[in-house]
Amino acid sequence: MAQNKFINKNSLSSQFSDIPQSQKILIGVIIIIGLALIWYFSYFQNLYSKAQKLNSEITQLSDFEKKLPLEMKKYAIISKKLRKYKEMLPEKEEIPKLLVDINSTIKKVGVSMNRFSPQTVNTQSQNATYSTVPIQISISGSYNQIGTAFEALSNMPRLVKIVDFSISPSSNPNILNVDFKAETYSLKNSEQNKNTRESK
């Protein structure tokens, strides 16, 4: 049996030696090309895919870098608006400061303050977002002063709404007495929102 294997090996060697030199070279070239293709598909192509992915990420980052100054400007504008809105509708009631601000705003226009009576904060309103802070106010002044007072209240940083107002004359024909309710608002906290949902 071993002798047969030896004979087969000799036979194959003899057959290979009988192949012309040009064909041997061709076979060698084919083998080299085959090995090169195997290396290409197993290593180089994978490396090329990674390079393409990296190049795509670099392009995206470059585009983002170009847009960054514009996005920063947009962010600054949005942040400014957000601060303004938070001032108009704060997350805390801040009643003492609010009362001082409203009182000061009204007195600055020269009207007489006859009554300034904060009411109970309404946290049980149907609106699940904010609480209503009502204030009953009575002032006296000329027609222009009254108009200026209302305008000053509406232009306050804090959101103030004038409701339920009535006008009556005074002993002085140039002076009007005005009774009205000013409403301002604050965002409800989580506990107040829970109570509002439970009351529905």
How does residue 123 score in pLDDT terms, banded at 50, 70 and 90?
low
Work out the average pLDDT over 154-162. Answer: 84
pLDDT of residue 102: 83
pLDDT of residue 6: 44
Structure tokens at 77: 């504008």
**Rounded Cα distance, 64 and 29, in Å:** 49
CATH number of 91-185, picked from 3.60.20.10, 3.30.70.60, 3.40.50.2300, 3.10.20.600: 3.30.70.60
Q: 164: alpha, beta or left, given left = phi > 0 and alpha = psi -120 to 50? A: left
Higher pLDDT, 38 or 4: 38
Domain residue ranges in the chain: 19-88, 91-185
Q: Which of 100-104, 152-156, 178-182 is modeled with the greatest confidence?
A: 178-182
Interval 51-103: pLDDT, tens: 788 888 888 888 888 888 888 888 888 888 877 777 766 666 566 777 788 88
**pLDDT above 70 for 2:** no
Interval 4-32: pLDDT, tens: 444 455 555 555 566 666 766 777 778 78
CB atoms within 10 A of CB 162: 15
pLDDT of residue 189: 60
